[in-house]
Amino acid sequence: MAIIMKDIKKQYPGTHQPVMEHFNLTIQEGSFTVLLGPSGCGKTTVLRMIAGLEDVTAGSIYIDDKNITNLDPGERNIAMVFQNYAIYPHMTVRGNIEFGLKNYKISKSEIAERVNYVLSMCDLSEYADRKPNQLSGGQRQRVALARAISKSPKAFLMDEPLSNLDAKLRNQMRSEMIQLYNQLGCTFVYVTHDQTEAMTMGTDIVVMYNGKIQQHGSPEDIYNNPANLFVAQFIGNPGMNTLQFSNGGFVGFRPRDARFGESESGLNIKGNVLTCEFLGYDYNITVNTGMGNVVIRTKDRKAVGDQVSIHADQKDLFYFDKNQNRSTEIQTGEVVKVFHVDA
Amino acid sequence: MKKRHLIVRIVECILLCTLFIIYVFPFYWMLISSLKTTFEAISVTPVWWPNKLMWHNYVDAWNQANFLKYGMNSIIISFGAVILCLASSVPCAYAFARMEFRLKKPLFAIVLSDMLIPIQCTFLPIFIMYSKLGWLNTYRALLILFIYSGFTIFFLRNAFMQVNNEVLEAARLDGASELSVMFRVIFPMVKPVIITMALLIFLMRWNDYFWNLALTTNDAVRTLPQAVNAITKVKDGFVTRWELAMAGSTMLMAPMLILYIFANKKIKNAFVYSGIK
Amino acid sequence: MLTHNPIAFQKLELRQRNKGYRLLNRLQKNPYVLVSPSVFFALCFSVYPMLFCIYVSFHNWDLTRNTMEFVGLENYRFIFTNESFLKALSNTLIFALTTVLIGVILKVLVGVFLNRNKFCHNLVQTIIFTPHIISSVAIAVVFMYLMSTNGVFNYVLNFFGIDSIGWYQDPKTALMSIIVVAIWQGLGYGVLIVISGLKSIPDYIYEAAQLDKSSKTKTFFKITVPLLSPTIFFLLVTSTVTAFTSFDVVKLMTNGGPMNSTSVLAFYIYQEGISFLHYGRAMAASVVLLVITSVLSLLNFAMVGKKVHYQ
Ligand SMILES: Nc1ncnc2c1ncn2[C@@H]1O[C@H](COP(=O)(O)OP(=O)(O)OP(=O)(O)O)[C@@H](O)[C@H]1O
Ligand SMILES: [Mg+2]
């Protein structure tokens, strides 16, 4: 039940630039794959192409080794949960779930059985005969989930399904979603630009930028082993500090791995404290180094304007070559500026 | 808020009453005169309340104007117009609202053209076309003409554009065919708008005088407005039978008035929203 | 745990549909299929008649010999030297000017006055809209009655010591009578539009004006009127188009008379075309009307475009 996208090109009609070209992605069977990336990088496009809601310009998509590129959305045996829930406003909760099932070859009694099962599974039994406008946001979200589950799809596609919920409900739904994934054991493809969601829920993360896959790996992999400068800066809160050498290469370190002080080995820079934000447990301190701003996360409080030196150990340094790809060679040289990928 | 000044309130009250009288009086007069005798109806000093209510005037007016026949014509034409117009406009509006195609812009301009071209410029060619086809004085002439209404398409298109696209996609993912997306998802969601539209088409066609006048030369398919107007030509000696004309007018506008009483918000909103006359 | 789960490990297959359904479904996906009936009838009943009208207006169509002879601007020359056309044109201009000016001022004033959420105001607003939804025949008939020699209008005049007048039966007052009916009929729609325009002005603007200690009259002229100007413009244009194309009440009440005193453009076209079968002249007059209304509508569109920028 792997989903394979092969050499996909997508260009929206009426635009001059393709959104993506030569796009290849393999989503493992049973994985919880999260598509993560900044706004406009093409996550939704990828998901909609898998669902069949958007045609591919070139290339093909396979599910279970079967080419589904030209199948209708309803024939692909996948379910999708939309950002705005997309539940039918004129049908009851039960009607919403039945509507989809009626289009498939199953008997009435089976439909009823399935509906009751998913209703109880999603804690919706008591709301079965309500209309969507009588439900809260979280309940609507669950209706959308129940509707998706009822069709026993091969894969669940979700496009930022939690972004319309408030913070508390989002946490709750997040853990419900993880439970659901463990219970159903089928493939989940989940789009988000929220790293926390990606890190906590995903078994696999696909980091995208500008219609290209930057890295595909486990959450730990993505955090500990960024494949390139973009991933390094995009992942983490805040992202990695990166400094450019005069030879064109880069060195980076995580804000949490730096501390105030100086040492023989590793990296040392000096600067003035620009801002000091209290985060509850520790501080985010932005330091102006003269070449640009560096952020460090530490429990030491500093006053604005303080002269500080920052140190990062050799083992915590990441190196990147001229082309911004990760390099294992230790590079040395004079730092010329603090580097930001515009994400 | 400050208490409004007493004089201001009195002036306001007077203005309200004036407007009320100016608009209600003609209707009151129509109703009350429809119950007068011929003599009372033409009396020099107005008879505010007749001696005896002449309910029989309604029967006379009914027979005089041949309400049964012309009423049937009115009903056939206005109900037919509602059904035909919606049947052609709904799919068209759906396509313009929800689909992308190459000729969308020019075709949309063509479809809206009757909102710009006054009927006074098109009726003569249509009259000539129909007389060549031998279609004058037929139901089909009027019904086919009423199939097309640019503002209906425009209005419905706006309603379809309000429907959330995600819901339609969810239905397609649920394996629903285009037909069931249309009939089981979109229709129920825009049902109020379609009902409003049906009301407006009915209203427009029931009241239609111009087309019925222009495209009929005998009374085979004439409708009520012409029939009621004909009552004013009926004379008793030299005296116009105003009480019959009033009874006829009352019966002509009663269905619209009843509709308006029950759906006045809907009807008013539709007129505001579509910005049409 | 999942042993009784009816939804696990089952593959659903789509229901098979019969051929007819599948065909319909395919058609349903094709936009051209969906729009073609309306486009066809729009061409038949709107675009083609208009083009035909323009074409015929340059020709002399002899019905007895059934010939169509190109005569250039002859029809236009004829109508612009024809007394009854010029009379109709001048009547139309007078009619349009008075109904639009008086009408729009009344619409704005009454609209502003009725724009409050009170029972009486709403009731009156609903009542004055009634003429818009009932047959013009009923309106014409009742006004003919009210304006008849022994009618209520004359009674009211006599009551104030004024002599009876002939209203629509007298060439001197006929056009005025038609204008009165037109204004009465059109007020409700205009008021509705003005009120919806007023409702779209946000409250905080008035609150800000109140804080600035702006007087009521000043607020009206310096805030309400400017913010309402797109609505007023829309009203001006639509009322003018309506005035130029009005036909029903004239046909019903006066049939253009007495002595052509109420013959308006639309009536002239009808009479020349359908009563006298002078197709060339009637269509030349139609083209004149078309030009006038098109200019007005284009103005309206240009303004609507501006309004969007303005916001
Ligand atoms: N219907 C469309 N027509 C034209 N261009 C589109 C269309 N939909 C998306 N795009 C373009 O394709 C690119 C990718 O869009 P997409 O919606 O996939 O981004 P995304 O990663 O989902 O962003 P977000 O996080 O904001 O949802 C964007 O540059 C967008 O402008
Ligand atoms: Mg998106």
Question: Which is nearest to B266 in space by CA: B191, B184, B157, B186?
Answer: B191
> CB distance C135–B122 less than 8 Å?
no
In the structure encoding, which two tokens stand for residue A2, read together?
Answer: 């792997």
Residue of chain A minimizing CA distance to B176 = A103
* φ/ψ of residue A291, rounded to 5: -105, -10
Question: Which is nearest to B250 in space by CA: B3, B50, B7, B65?
Answer: B65
**For ligand 1, is residue A302 a contact (CB within 6 Å)?**
no
For chain B, the helix, strand and coil percentages under 3-state DSSP, each to the nearest 5? 75, 0, 25
pLDDT score, position B96: 93
The H-assigned helical ranges of chain A are 43-51, 93-101, 108-121, 137-150, 167-184, 195-201, 219-224, 229-234
For residues C57 and C74, what is the distance between their CA atoms, to the nearest angstrom? 9
Query: Where in chain A are the domains?
Result: 3-224, 239-341
Q: Indicate whether C165 and C26 sit together in one domain.
A: no
Superfamily of domain A3-224: P-loop containing nucleotide triphosphate hydrolases (3.40.50.300)
**Residue A168 in contact with partner chain B when CB distance is under 8 A:** no
Contact indicator for C211, C130 with CB cutoff of 8 Å: no
pLDDT score, position C310: 38
Q: How confident is the model at residue C7 (pLDDT cuts 50, 70, 90)?
A: low
**For ligand 1, is residue A19 a contact (CB within 6 Å)?**
yes
Residue C89: its H or E element: helix C83-114
Residue ranges of chain A with per-residue pLDDT less than 50: none
Among A66, A98, A104, pick the best mutation site for testing chain C contact (most C Cβ within 10 A): A104
Q: Indicate whether C126 and C253 sit together in one domain.
A: yes
Q: How confident is the model at residue B143 (pLDDT cuts 50, 70, 90)?
A: very high
Nearest CA-CA distance, residue C172 and chain B, Å: 23
A3-224 and A239-341 share one CATH topology? Answer: no
Work out whether strand A307-312 and strand A318-320 pair parallel, antiparallel, or are unpaired: unpaired
Which C-chain residues 4-43 have CB contacts (< 8 A) with chain A? Answer: 5-16
Question: Which is nearest to B252 in space by CA: B70, B32, B42?
Answer: B70
Residues C246-260, mean pLDDT to the nearest whole number? 89
Mean of all residue pLDDT scores within chain B: 88
For residues A120 and A88, what is the distance between their CA atoms, to the nearest angstrom? 20
Q: How confident is the model at residue B277 (pLDDT cuts 50, 70, 90)?
A: very low
Residue tagged 């779209």 (tokens): C200
Determine whether domain B60-274 maps to CATH 1.10.3720.10: yes
pLDDT score, position A96: 92
pLDDT surpassing 60 at residue C309: no
pLDDT surpassing 80 at residue B183: yes
Residues B204-215, mean pLDDT to the nearest whole number? 92
Q: How confident is the model at residue C3 (pLDDT cuts 50, 70, 90)?
A: very low
Q: How confident is the model at residue C311 (pLDDT cuts 50, 70, 90)?
A: very low
* pLDDT tens-digit series, residues C146-170: 998 888 999 999 999 898 888 998 9
Residue tagged 């309803």 (tokens): A74
pLDDT surpassing 70 at residue C60: yes
**Three-class secondary structure of residue B240 per DSSP:** strand
Among A43, A53, A82, name the best residue to mutate to test ligand 1's pocket (greatest count of ligand atoms within 8 A of Cβ).
A43
Number of domains making up chain C: 2
In terms of Cβ atoms closer than 10 Å to its own Cβ (0-12, 13-18, 19+), residue A150 is buried
Contact indicator for B151, B115 with CB cutoff of 8 Å: yes
> CB distance B179–C290 less than 8 Å?
no
Contact indicator for A25, A38 with CB cutoff of 8 Å: no
CA of A211, closest atom in ligand 1: 14
Residue of chain C minimizing CA distance to B263 = C126
User: Helix C136-146 to helix C171-199 angle, to the nearest 10 degrees?
Assistant: 130
A239-341: CATH class: mainly beta
Residues C29-48, mean pLDDT to the nearest whole number? 92
pLDDT score, position A84: 84
In the structure encoding, which two tokens stand for residue B218, read together?
Answer: 């005998």
Evaluate whether residue C162 is within a structural domain.
yes
Q: Which domain holds residue C141?
A: 78-307
For residues B106 and C48, what is the distance between their CA atoms, to the nearest angstrom? 15
pLDDT score, position B275: 58
In terms of Cβ atoms closer than 10 Å to its own Cβ (0-12, 13-18, 19+), residue C18 is exposed
In the structure encoding, which two tokens stand for residue C255, read together?
Answer: 């049939």
Residues 6+ apart with CB under 8 A from B157: B93, B94, B96, B97
Residues 6+ apart with CB under 8 A from C202: none
Among A97, A98, A105, pick the best mutation site for testing chain C contact (most C Cβ within 10 A): A105
* CATH code for position C157: 1.10.3720.10
C169: how many CB neighbours lie within 10 A of its CB?
17
In terms of Cβ atoms closer than 10 Å to its own Cβ (0-12, 13-18, 19+), residue B51 is exposed
Residues 6+ apart with CB under 8 A from B11: none
In the structure encoding, which two tokens stand for residue A87, read together?
Answer: 């539940």
User: Helix C225-245 to helix C279-310 angle, to the nearest 10 degrees?
Assistant: 170
For chain A, the helix, strand and coil percentages under 3-state DSSP, each to the nearest 5? 30, 30, 40
pLDDT score, position A343: 54
Q: Indicate whether C202 and C166 sit together in one domain.
A: yes
For residues A292 and A306, what is the distance between their CA atoms, to the nearest angstrom? 16
**Residue B8 in contact with partner chain A when CB distance is under 8 A:** no
Of residues C7, C12, C14, nearest to A149 (C-beta): C7
* φ/ψ of residue B209, rounded to 5: -115, -40
Question: In the beta sheet, which residues pair with residue C202?
Answer: none
Residue of chain A minimizing CA distance to C10 = A152
> CB distance A103–B180 less than 8 Å?
yes
Q: How confident is the model at residue C45 (pLDDT cuts 50, 70, 90)?
A: very high
pLDDT score, position B53: 84
* pLDDT tens-digit series, residues B44-94: 788 888 888 888 889 988 888 888 999 999 999 999 999 999 999 999 999
Tally B–C CB contacts below 8 A: 257
**Three-class secondary structure of residue A89 per DSSP:** coil
Q: Indicate whether C17 and C157 sit together in one domain.
A: no
Residue of chain C minimizing CA distance to A113 = C6
Contact indicator for C45, B215 with CB cutoff of 8 Å: no
For residues A119 and A107, what is the distance between their CA atoms, to the nearest angstrom? 18
Query: Where in chain B are the domains?
Result: 60-274
The number of residues making up chain C comes to 311
Residues C201-207, mean pLDDT to the nearest whole number? 83
The share of chain B scoring above pLDDT 70, in percent, equals 97
**For ligand 1, is residue A15 a contact (CB within 6 Å)?**
yes
pLDDT score, position C234: 85
CA of A193, closest atom in ligand 1: 25
What is the ipTM, given to two decimal places? 0.89
Residue C286: its H or E element: helix C279-310
pLDDT surpassing 70 at residue C2: no
Nearest CA-CA distance, residue A138 and chain B, Å: 18
> CB distance B166–A86 less than 8 Å?
yes
pLDDT score, position C305: 60
Of residues C5, C9, C15, nearest to A117 (C-beta): C5
For residues C105 and C236, what is the distance between their CA atoms, to the nearest angstrom? 10
Chain center to CA of A287: 29
In the structure encoding, which two tokens stand for residue A126, read together?
Answer: 């008591």
Q: E-assigned strands of B135-261? A: 235-236, 239-240
Relative to the alpha carbon of A38, which ligand is closest?
A: 1
For residues B264 and B249, what is the distance between their CA atoms, to the nearest angstrom? 21
Work out whether strand A318-320 and strand A326-327 pair parallel, antiparallel, or are unpaired: antiparallel
For residues B208 and B229, what is the distance between their CA atoms, to the nearest angstrom? 13
Among A19, A157, A209, A212, name the best residue to mutate to test ligand 1's pocket (greatest count of ligand atoms within 8 A of Cβ).
A19
> CB distance C12–A74 less than 8 Å?
no
For chain C, the helix, strand and coil percentages under 3-state DSSP, each to the nearest 5? 75, 5, 25
Per-position DSSP letters for C123-179, written without gaps between them: HHHHHHHGGGTS-HHHHHHHHHHHTSTTSHHHHHHHHTTPPP--GGGSHHHHHHHHH
Question: Which is nearest to A25 in space by CA: A10, A13, A40?
Answer: A10
What is the dihedral sign for C-alpha B124, B130, B132, B136?
negative
Q: Which residues of A touch B169 (CB under 8 A)?
A: 51, 53, 73, 80, 82, 86
CA of C30 to the centre of ligand 2 (A): 28
pTM of the predicted model as reported, rounded to 2 decimal places? 0.82
Nearest CA-CA distance, residue A297 and chain C, Å: 45
Question: In the beta sheet, which residues pair with residue A273?
Answer: A287
In the structure encoding, which two tokens stand for residue C100, read together?
Answer: 């639009």
**Residue B101 in contact with partner chain A when CB distance is under 8 A:** no
